[in-house]
Amino acid sequence: MSSRDRILGRVRRALAGVPRDDTPYEQAVPRDYQRRHGERSAAETVDLLAENLVDYRAVVHRCDAAGLPALIAHLLGERDSTGVLVPPGLDEAWLSATAVQQVADRADATPGELDRVDSVVTGCAVAIAETGTIVLDGSPDQGRRRVTLVPDHHICVVRVPEQVVSSVPEALERLTPAHPLTWISGPSATSDIELDRVEGVHGPRCLEVVLVSGARPARLA
Amino acid sequence: MRVALFLTCVNDTLYPDTGRAVVRLLRRLGVDVDFPMAQTCCGQAHYNTGYRHEAEPLARRFGEVFADYEAIVTPSGSCGAMVRELYPRLGERARAEGRGDTLERVLAPVVPKTYELTEFLVDVLEVTDVGAYYPHTVTYHPTCHGLRGLGLGDRPRRLLQAVRGLDLVELPGADECCGFGGTFAVKNPDVSAAMGADKVRNAESTGAEVLCAGDNSCLMHLGGTMSRLRTRMRPVHIAEILASTEEDPAA
Amino acid sequence: MSTTDLGMPGLPPPGRPEFPPFPEAAHDAVRDERLRGNLRHATHTIRAKRARAVAEVSDWAELREAGRRIKDHALRHLDRYLVRVEEAVTAAGGTVHWAADAEEANRIVAGLVKATGEREVVKVKSMATQEIGLNEALEAEGIRAYETDLAELIVQLGKDRPSHILVPAIHRNRGEIRDIFRSEMSEWGRPAPADLTDTPAELAEAARLHLREKFLRAKVGISGANFVVAETGTLVVVESEGNGRMCLTLPETLISVVGIEKIVPTWRDLEVFLQTLPRSSTAERMNPYTSMWTGTTDGDGPRVFHLVLLDNGRTDTLADEVGRQALRCIRCSACLNVCPVYERAGGHAYGSVYPGPIGAILSPQLRGTRSAIDASLPYASSLCGACYEVCPVAIDIPEVLVHLRERVAQGGEVTRGGNRVVLRPARGHGAERVAMRAARWAFGHPGALRGGQRLAARVRRFRPRTLPGPGRAWTGTRDLPALPAEPFRDWWQRTHGGEEEEK
């Protein structure tokens, strides 16, 4: 007998007491928890996002579409970045004001090569105000997962208010499970020493989130 | 209202003063109290130690002895929780094991009318000032089964705050277990003693003369620890504080 | 370096045939002032933070109830959902394996690693792989597994055993961690900086540098998963440091070993657990990183993905109608952090990778109650109920503890290895059984009870300071209560309910 059959057989014997007409899934789970916590205007939701991002040590900047290239150039300059990784579908205008060397992500780039690039700039799929979270889904303006992981400095651009939702339930509704997803809430951290939170371990130690208003959507792949 | 005192076997045997205090207190508040002589033990120790089947006849006896009263009052959070929380489970399990619904039927009527003392005072009699006088500094330890099992909340504190002369001081780490836990106290004596010693130290740090609680079994453990550690505090059941008056002070 | 000097997580300390029973292990831990201090500091810190994080959401009770129902439903239809997971993961480009026990799971994983030709793997912290002793099994096959979670690294470098679900090195303070890094890192790779201090930020930096070279060259990653979504075949790993992202993203091959109880039916179900898990475990609104992946994705992440579905006692646990609720556990460790027994005895006393209250109900179900440690675990609790109160999936841990005590003391029918067997009562409970029966008889005969009470009253002047035999467990640290002159019932009868005493 295969282990598959053995395990499924054990499960079925263990559940012999469960009636055939057991409550179906749709009725088994009460969903009387809240879709979001409190009612806020779009602007207030963006403010809450900013507040919660800062609370977990992300650095938050706000600008309009016209000011974005200069802001990004400024942030890269501030870190003395010598190179910036560029996902394939990033709006070219965003990096139009910086002189920092732009590194395209090649399919055959090794992790070691990525490790030599200081910064990365991406868009995002959605941002969650209540938890201060940005979610990446591998779309062309965000690139594959490793580009936002290996460089130590991540600048993530959130188009507000349209990419911001209030809550975790609202975010899941917007996401496609088949995409590889990375939920990011502040820079890398650990609580492993005396259960006390310390920022900065393996992921980017500096997370800067730019909340940009009036930007047009990223072009589709 | 015809009310039965369910004193519990521990109080009956070791702490009759607590029983007398409950009788005195309830009579003072105009309650007709009876003590059914056929009562013995609720079966909690049996149940919690893994002898559920030995607990069943005791639960059934409880159901029979107390069936005809309008309310059953007990000065014990843990025995109260045994009746209220675990008796329904006991009946359910007996039925699930194919032993019929007799136990369930005997227990069902007594479960909702069993009250821990402070609950009975605040919820049924709707009093918080019971006319007590107790000129001492007191700190209150909410015992686990009262706090988390029965959800007594701030009822005991409201009663204590209304006692004249009583100075109620906050106990640090109040909602942590004292370490008694029934047979836990002897099956895991080192951890139990460490928890007890920490609780006593916290109590001592308040400067109170009296450590008050609603369960004499916890107080037996804490009192035994206090005298061994030579602290100057003493353990007192809340019933004895609430029964105390200017004319008839507690011993 | 060989495995013989390593404390294997699933096995007793070196030189011992089996783990000592809980009270014996706790005896030493309670007297270890440094351990007590470390644990008190850490658990009290997180306790207060968790309470604040939970208080922030007004619908905590509803989220908790939904979480309980989702897991219960998934468990009640687990056969259906397991098959659904297999279909969905396979359709998304993954390969699914089934492992009935630890040995089979280890064999599968070792075989998969060997097939890649690699001799080292990087690991994301995973309870399931600790439970089955995967690192040691790989070592025996000549494969070195690097733990990459900071606390796991501390445990691995210190040749230690984990003592907490979330923070396996919770028993170590910063000074001890610095000493371990200084003396051991060079054995495994990049040494710690010579001037390393004990500030947490410097310790984290040392770990970053030490592990980075391993991440960048790793070809095989091994993980567990916090959740598997049956509907979509999506796996979820919740973490903080980024080591999880490294292991899940950079290697060419990813092997995930997942207990069969980790399944949730739908994508939407994550909306409950992604709110309750971070607040319960690290006391954060959201943990820094959560990775979700479904099979493989062209050009992004591992090209080969294997999912190993692990039973190892879970179906036996599922067969127990009271005990099966332990399978709802999402490994948040909130119950450890509030447990007064855990705080004083420490995690090692539980003799399992699952310490604390959840361990006390999980280990004796996954492993059975035959060994001394497993037979003692159900008693390692004062039944104070703090664990149940904080559990984000409402596992009634005290209920299961009492249920398992019954199994130990009385024996009875259980499922082991998929078969129904009848257990005999565990040894050492004979006297207790007689005493319980005698007490039940006395309580059934108030006359006998009264006789006993009166006898006690008569000898009340002889109050010994210490008792012999089992009574010493009480009198070792506590005085006995004074016996009253008469029991309450005698007073009641003598005074006609006190009427004749009142003026």
How does pLDDT run across B226-245, given as a tens digit for each residue? 999 999 999 999 999 999 99
Nearest-by-CA chain B residue for C483 = B14
- By the 8 A CB rule, do B102 and B133 touch? no
Q: What percent of chain A has pLDDT over 70?
A: 98
Domains: count for chain A: 1
Q: Domain residues for B81?
A: 2-124
Question: Which among C378, C400, C377 is positioned nearest to C388, based on CA atoms?
Answer: C400
Same domain (yes/no): B77, B8: yes
**In the structure encoding, which two tokens stand for residue C12, read together?**
């007793």
Distance CA C53, CA C337 (A): 14
**Subunit contact C318:A31, Cβ cutoff 8 A:** no
Percent of chain B whose pLDDT exceeds 70 = 100
Residue of C nearest to B217 (CA): C481
Domain membership of residue B131 (yes or no) is: no
Closest CA to A191 of C336, C204, C185: C204
Looking at the partner chain, which of B11, B96, B227 has a beta carbon nearest the beta carbon of C488? Answer: B11
Angle at C74 between CA C423 and CA C224, to 5 degrees: 85
Query: Looking at the domain assignment, is residue C484 inside a domain?
Result: yes
CATH of the domain at A111: 3.40.50.10420
Query: Contact at 8 Å (CB) between B214 and B235?
Result: no
* CB proximity list for B219: less than 8 A, separation 6 or greater: B211, B213, B235, B236, B237
In-domain check, residue B168 = yes
Task: State how far the Cα of C335 lies from the Cα of C337, in Å rounded to an integer.
Answer: 5
Closest CB to C315 among A10, A187, A193: A10
- Segments in C77-149 forming alpha helices (H): 78-91, 102-116, 127-131, 134-140
The answer to whether residue A26 is domain-embedded is: no
Q: For residue C3, what pLDDT is reported?
A: 33
The rounded distance, in Å, linking the Cα atoms of A55 and B143 is 37
Distance CA C163, CA C344 (A): 12
- Closest CB to B187: pick one of C23, C402, C486: C23
Average pLDDT over residues C307-317: 98
The answer to whether the CB of A131 falls within 8 A of the CB of C293 is no
φ, ψ (nearest 5 deg) of residue A59: -100, 125
Average of per-residue pLDDT across A145-158:
96
Q: Best mutation site among A182, A191, A199 for testing chain C: the one with the most C CBs within 10 Å?
A: A191
Instruction: Give first-to-last CA distance, chain A, whole Å.
Output: 48
pLDDT at A221 over 60: no
Tokens of C143: 């494969």
Least CB-CB distance to C42: which of A29, A194, A201?
A194
- Residue range C96-149, pLDDT digits in tens: 999 999 999 999 999 999 999 999 999 999 999 999 999 999 999 999 999 999
Q: Does residue A21 fall inside a structural domain?
A: no
The span from the CA of C156 to the CA of C160, in Å, is 6
Instruction: Evaluate whether A134 touches A102 at the Cβ level (below 8 Å).
Output: no
Q: Which helix (H) or strand (E) holds C31?
A: helix C22-31
Please determine, for residue C8, whether its predicted confidence score (pLDDT) is greater than 60: no
User: What's the pLDDT band for C1 if we cut at 50, 70, 90?
Assistant: very low
Distance CA C225, CA B1 (A): 59
Q: B159 and B206, same structural domain? A: yes
- Residue C233: the pLDDT is 98
Report the candidate in B230, B232, B234, B203 with the shortest Cα–Cα distance to residue B216: B234
What is the chain A residue with the closest CA to C89?
A: A178
Total domain count, chain C: 1
Average pLDDT of the residues of chain B:
96
Name which of A91, A90, A123, A94 is nearest A105 in CA terms.
Answer: A90
Q: In terms of domains, do B237 and B150 share one? A: yes
- B130 is a domain residue: no
pLDDT at B13 over 50: yes
Evaluate whether residue B251 is within a structural domain.
no
Residue at token pair 């606390």? C151
Residues B226, B119 share a domain: no
Question: For the whole model, what pTM was predicted?
Answer: 0.96
Is C502 a residue whose pLDDT tops 80? no
DSSP state of C269: G
Residue C488 structure tokens: 């309450």
Phi and psi at C294, nearest 5°, equal -125, 105
- B107, B143: one domain: no
Least confident of A193-197, B30-34, B180-184, C294-298: A193-197
pLDDT for res A197: 80
pLDDT range class, residue C16, cuts 50, 70, 90: low
C208–A23: do the CB atoms touch at under 8 Å? no
**Domain identity same for B234 and B163:** yes
Rg (CA), chain B: 18
- What is the domain range of residue A108? 41-213
Within 98-137 of B, beta carbons closer than 8 Å to C belong to: none
Contacts of B187 in chain C (CB under 8 A): 23, 379, 473
Domain total in chain B: 2
Is A199 inside a domain boundary?
Answer: yes
B contacts of C474 (beta carbons < 8 Å) = 185-186, 189, 224
Q: Is B23 on the interface with C (CB under 8 A)?
A: yes
Q: How large is the average pLDDT for residues C54-83?
A: 98
Q: Which domain holds residue C458?
A: 445-494
Q: What is the DSSP letter of C466?
A: S
- Determine, yes or no, domain membership for A126: yes
Looking at the partner chain, which of B13, B43, B193 has a beta carbon nearest the beta carbon of C487? B13
C32 in any annotated domain: no
Residue C499: pLDDT above 60?
yes
| CB A172 within 8 Å of CB A36 | no
* C24 Cβ neighbours under 8 A, 6+ residues apart: none
Give residues with Cβ within 8 angstroms of C321, minimum separation 6.
A17, B96
| DSSP conformation letters of C207-247 | HHHHHHHHHHH-SEEEE--SEEETTTTEEEEEESSSHHHHH
Can you list the pairs that B96-103 forms with residues at least 24 positions away whose Cβ atoms lie under 8 Å?
A: B96/C321, B103/B56, B103/B59, B103/B60
Q: How far is B110 from chain C (nearest CA, A)?
A: 19
Asked whether the predicted pLDDT for residue B51 surpasses 60, the reply is yes
Q: C341: part of which helix (H) or strand (E)?
A: helix C340-345
pLDDT exceeds cutoff 80 at A98: yes
Domain check: are B117 and B166 in the same one?
Answer: no
Q: What is the 3-class SS of C109-122, one letter each residue?
A: HHHHHHHHCCCEEE
Q: What's the whole-number mean pLDDT along residues C172-193?
A: 94
Tell whether B249 is covered by a domain.
no
Residue C262 per-residue DSSP state: G
**Beta carbons of A49 and A132 less than 8 angstroms apart:** yes
Which chain A residues contact residue C167 at CB under 8 A?
191-192, 195
Residue A20 lies in a domain: no
CA distances from B36 to B7, B86, B217, C295 (A): 10, 22, 22, 68
**CB contact at 8 A, C364 and C379:** no
* B62 neighbors B74 (Cβ within 8 angstroms): no
- Rounded to the nearest 10 degrees, the angle between the axes of helix C270-281 and helix C60-76 is 120
Q: Is A2 inside any structural domain?
A: no
Residue of C nearest to B190 (CA): C27
Kindly list the residues from chain C whose CB atom is less than 8 angstroms away from the CB atom of residue B189: 23, 473-474, 476-477
Residue C8, C-beta contacts closer than 8 angstroms, at least 6 positions apart: C133, C136, C161
Q: Is A74 helix (H, G, I), strand (E, B) or coil?
A: helix
**Could you tell me the end-to-end alpha-carbon distance of chain B, in angstroms, rounded to an integer?**
29
φ, ψ of residue A64 in degrees (nearest 5) = -100, 175
pLDDT tens digits, C413-438: 999 999 999 999 988 888 888 888 88
- Domain-located, residue A10: no
Q: C301 to chain A: which residues are within 8 Å by CB?
A: 144-146, 180
- Supply the DSSP symbol for C395: -
Give the pLDDT band of residue B67 (cuts 50, 70, 90).
Answer: very high
Looking at the fold, whether B120 and B162 belong to one and the same domain comes out as no
Q: The domain spanning residue B181 has which CATH number?
A: 3.40.50
Kindly report whether the peptide bond that precedes residue A161 is cis, defined as omega within 30 degrees of 0.
yes
Q: How confident is the model at residue C5 (pLDDT cuts 50, 70, 90)?
A: very low
Model pLDDT, residue C428: 82
Residue B1: Cβ within 10 Å count: 11
Sole residue written with tokens 């959070």: B77
| C459 is a domain residue | yes
Helix ranges restricted to H, A90-161 = 111-115
> Smallest Cα–Cα separation from C209: which of A205, A80, A145, A59?
A205
pLDDT at C503 over 50: no
Q: Where are the alpha helices (DSSP H) in chain B?
A: 9-14, 16-28, 44-49, 52-65, 77-81, 87-96, 102-107, 117-119, 144, 155-161, 184-187, 189-205, 216-228, 238-243
Torsion of CA C48, C49, C50, C55, to 10 degrees: 90
CB atoms within 10 A of CB B32: 10
A113 is a domain residue: yes
pLDDT at residue number A53: 97
User: Using 50, 70 and 90 to split pLDDT, how confident is the model at C451?
Assistant: confident
Residue C110 pLDDT: 98
Q: Do B170 and B112 fall within a single domain? A: no
Decide if C332 contacts C121 (C-beta within 8 A): no
Please indicate, yes or no, if residue B218 is contained in any of the structural domains. Answer: yes
**Are residues B223 and C479, on separate chains, in Cβ contact within 8 Å?**
yes
CB contact residues (below 8 A), chain B span 210-249, against chain C: 220-221, 223-225, 227-228
pLDDT in tens, A12-51: 999 999 998 899 999 999 999 999 999 999 999 999 999 9
pLDDT score at C2: 33
- Give me the mean pLDDT over the C325-354 stretch: 97
